[in-house]
Amino acid sequence: MNRESVTAAAGVPVRHVRRRSTLDLKECVHVLAEVHERDGYPVNWPDSPVGWLTQPSLLAAWVAELDGRIVGHVGLSRNGAGDAAPALWSAREGVNIEGTVVVSRLFVAPAARGHGIGALLMAEVVREAHARDLHPVLDVVASDTSAAALYERLGWDLLATVEQRWSPDQTVAVRCYAAAG
């Protein structure tokens, strides 16, 4: 009997993180809709949720499963012109901005919270960033205190809180973080 079977037999939910496939996108959008309805993430619902999850800058993405159901998602992306965290980290460390990578599109289904899913996804994305010899950074809207609390529990460093103009009518405060080390 393998370890997952033993764990499942003991009544403990089985958690698993794996690379996201194209076949996962429909379920990821469903989970994202639940998160948006409950928490308002993303702040602005995208015209194309699948396009939002598969943005051109994406390097890799993962899903988390709980007892075989997709309950979470995270991506790793190249930094872009509007990303504040890569510039803040590279200026602080005195290194090239190309040495960073952005953690993006992290969400966990409301019903699956409390099982360590966010931490598992973050560990996987940090492992991948380090395997690529890149330093992971991210930003989160300042009002998302539960996400900020997760990053801080995981030891991420708050670089700054900055204002970003997302559209002519929308300016948002975001907290910028960098992985420790």
Predicted confidence (pLDDT) at residue 2 exceeds the cutoff of 60: no
Closest of 177, 37, 58, 180 to residue 107, by C-alpha: 37
Query: Could you report the per-residue pLDDT of 108-129, keeping only the tens digit for each?
Result: 999 999 999 999 999 999 999 9
**Dist CA 174 CA 170 (whole Å):** 13
| Average pLDDT score over the chain | 92
Please tell me the predicted confidence (pLDDT) of residue 10.
Answer: 61
Among candidates 2, 19, 8, 9, which has minimal Cα distance to 124?
A: 19
The pLDDT of residue 119 is 96
Q: Structure pTM?
A: 0.90
| Structure confidence at residue 1 as a pLDDT band (50, 70, 90) | very low
pLDDT number for residue 121:
98
Q: What is the pLDDT of residue 164?
A: 87
Average pLDDT over residues 43-62: 96
